[in-house]
Chains A and B, each alone.
Chain A
C-alpha cells in the first residue's frame, strides 16, 4: 500500500513570496490533515478535511494560508505572502477511522520550508 505522498520535499523562498505544497493521501482515506511543525515542537494542526469538507481550520492563519481538497482526494496548502516565522516542516497526514485503529494518522515525509 502506497503511503502519503508530499511534494516538494524542500523549499526555500524569500519573505513575501508565495509557496504551495501538495499532498496525496493513502487511497481510501477520507480524512486529511495539514500540520505545521516548528523545530523542537509537536505538530500543530492547521486544517482537517473530511472528504472535501473542512472539519477544523481554527488554527489556520487565514489571512495568508489557504488549503483545498478538490474531489476529496489530494490537497494543496498555500502560503501567500510568506513570513519568516512560517519556516517549518509542513506535514500531511491521512486517516481512515476504524474500530481497530481508531483515528491513527499516517504521515507523509513532510516539506521543509525555509523563508529567508
Chain B
C-alpha cells in the first residue's frame, strides 16, 4: 500500500530562518509533486520532480527528490510571512493499480 508521510506536521518559524520539510513515501515511484494550500483556498501546484536527483527552485523554495531513499525535501530559505500555508507532497505510482496519494500536509506559520 502506498503511504506518504510528511514531517513536521506543524512548523512555526521566524522570518529570515531556514528550514526543511520532509516527505517520505513507501513504494517505488519516480514522480513526486509539491502543492501549496492557503487557508480557505484550493491547492496550487508548486513543483513536479520527475527523476532521481531532480531539483527545482522558485524564489525561497527548493525541492529535491531522492528516489533511492524514497524521500523528497522542501527547503525554505530566509522565510517570509507570505510563505505561511499548508504544504502537501504527493506521489503517484504505476506499480499495480495507478495511485495518486497526498501526504499528511505540513502547516507552516512564519512569524514576523
Q: Which residues from chain A sit less than 8 Å from chain B, CB to CB?
A: 33, 41-45, 48, 55-56, 58, 91, 93, 100-110
Q: CA–CA, A85 to B101, complex, Å? A: 21
On chain A, the residues within 8 Å of B42 by CB distance are 91, 107-110
Q: CA–CA, A43 to B101, complex, Å? A: 9
Q: List 24 A-B contacts (CB under 8 A).
A: A33-B100, A41-B104, A42-B102, A42-B105, A48-B98, A56-B98, A58-B97, A100-B50, A101-B48, A102-B31, A102-B48, A103-B31, A103-B92, A103-B100, A104-B33, A105-B33, A105-B35, A105-B43, A105-B45, A105-B100, A106-B45, A107-B43, A108-B42, A109-B42
Q: CA–CA, A58 to B90, complex, Å? A: 18
Size category, B interface: 20 to 34
Query: Quick one: closest B residue to A48, CB to CB?
Result: B100
Query: Quick one: closest A residue to B45, CB to CB?
Result: A104
On chain B, the residues within 8 Å of A42 by CB distance are 88, 102-105
> CB distance A102 to B50 under 8 Å?
yes
> CB distance A41 to B100 under 8 Å?
no
Query: Quick one: closest A residue to B49, CB to CB?
Result: A102
Residues 23-42 (chain B) with a chain A CB within 8 angstroms: 31, 33, 35, 41-42
Q: CA–CA, A106 to B41, complex, Å? A: 13
Does B60 count as interface, using CB distance less than 8 angstroms?
A: no
Query: Quick one: closest B residue to A109, CB to CB?
Result: B42
On chain A, the residues within 8 Å of B102 by CB distance are 42-44
